[in-house]
Chain A
Amino acid sequence: GAVVSQHPSRVICKSGTSVKIECRSLDFQATTMFWYRQFPKQSLMLMATSNEGSKATYEQGVEKDKFLINHASLTLSTLTVTSAHPEDSSFYICSARNRNTEAFFGQGTRLTVV
């Protein structure tokens, strides 16, 4: 299957700082990327959907000013957690697809805010 690379796999940051997570589709052009969040022992919750070149669509309850998503190219989307707080600690996963493919997942990023 296609490869989606997510970086970093783990990050620890101080409360109040911002963290950027990258999601790259390595061998296909991803017209759509999705960002999910997973709390411990829970399922994945869709945070937002981004289409290349347009603004992301956020799910209800997700603060767009808190979780900045940029999808500037067909192979890269970024999620920036701004002014992170301990409650933002979670596992974040991206997935990418185009019209011809299913969604492929990145490896996930474990964010810990201390």
Chain B
Amino acid sequence: AQSVTQLDSHVSVSEGTPVLLRCNYSSSYSPSLFWYVQHPNKGLQLLLKYTSAATLVKGINGFEAEFKKSETSFHLTKPSAHMSDAAEYFCVVSDLHSGYALNFGKGTSLLVTP
């Protein structure tokens, strides 16, 4: 079975400082991993994805994530937070066993303060 754990339900950073949103996963198969962002009352937007190619994945809006198999982690980072980054972020795992359905983490709410 697959699962994903987002270690922090809320993260608060100051504008211009680095962002780290943590995610650990478990999967019996070679997983695909994703980060999605959801702004208030909006749908989901794909930030980036890992599908067994390069372990360091660069996404949109300056975000990136590193797949670390030994640590079963896929943490999301950004060097410098912007006010517009405030949103809900979901780490997602998918594998063959699930028929490629997406299994969502509980989400991390990112607050960016001036």
Interface 9-mer from A14-22, A41-49, A68-76, A82-90? A41-49
Is B99 within 8 A of A49, CB to CB?
yes
Q: How many A-B residue pairs have CB under 8 A?
A: 50
Contact of A95 with B by CB under 8 A: yes
Contact of B90 with A by CB under 8 A: yes
Knowing A1-B46, A108-B43 are in contact, say whether A103-B107 is a contact too (CB < 8 A).
no
Interface size range of chain B in the complex: 20 to 34
**Using Cβ atoms and an 8 Å threshold, which residues of chain B touch A97?**
100
Contact of B32 with A by CB under 8 A: yes
Q: Which of A34, A105, A110 is close to B101, meaning CB atoms less than 8 Å apart?
A: A34
Query: What's the nearest-Cβ distance from chain A to residue B54, in Å?
Result: 16
Query: What's the nearest-Cβ distance from chain B to residue A89, in Å?
Result: 14
**Using Cβ atoms and an 8 Å threshold, which residues of chain A touch B103?**
46
Knowing A42-B107, A43-B105, A43-B107 are in contact, say whether A103-B100 is a contact too (CB < 8 A).
yes
With A and B bound together, what is the CA distance between A48 and B106 in angstroms? Answer: 18
**Using Cβ atoms and an 8 Å threshold, which residues of chain A touch B41?**
110
Query: What's the nearest-Cβ distance from chain B to residue A6, in Å?
Result: 8
Q: Which of B32, B44, B101 is close to A102, meaning CB atoms less than 8 Å apart?
A: B32
18 residue pairs A–B, Cβ–Cβ below 8 Å: A32-B100, A34-B102, A36-B102, A36-B104, A43-B107, A44-B102, A46-B101, A49-B99, A49-B101, A93-B43, A102-B32, A102-B46, A102-B49, A105-B36, A105-B44, A105-B46, A106-B43, A107-B42
